[in-house]
Structure 1
Amino acid sequence: MKNDKDVENTEAAEGVCPYCGSRNIARIFRGMSTFTEELQRELDEGKVALGGCVFEYDRPILLYHCNDCEEEF
């Protein structure tokens, strides 16, 4: 079981791009999406990036997109 400090460190690590160090990070949204006003707002604000509908099971599923260097991690 993780203690509170480990949880905080995990959250902090997810909020930083491992490639460029930016904190301008978006969650990758995968699957068939229904475009709502909320989804459009999050896309416009850079909080969400669309990741497509195809899953490749032989590769890790990337969860985050850096809005600065365009890398996914």
Structure 2
Amino acid sequence: MYRRENGNATGVLMAVIDKPNHVSVRPVNPLDMMEWINSRPTAKENPYYLTKTLASISISIRDNRGPCNVKID
């Protein structure tokens, strides 16, 4: 189960429940958002630090082997 704390615990990303059964992950510092978006063309060769952080979180989510059930604490 994905919980908001998983993203928030990184200190650089925050998870926002913005629709039923949907979570958006955003940088804590809103100024990072544009740079992160602009890094997309080179994300495979030179991933932005937020991409690496998100990828490490995604691995733990994928390991649950089930649907993403958002729990609000």
TM-score (norm 1): 0.24
With CA pairs under 8 Å and 6+ residues apart, which has the higher RCO, 1 or 2? 2
Larger radius of gyration: 1
Higher helix share: 2
Give the TM-score of the pair, scaled to structure 2: 0.24
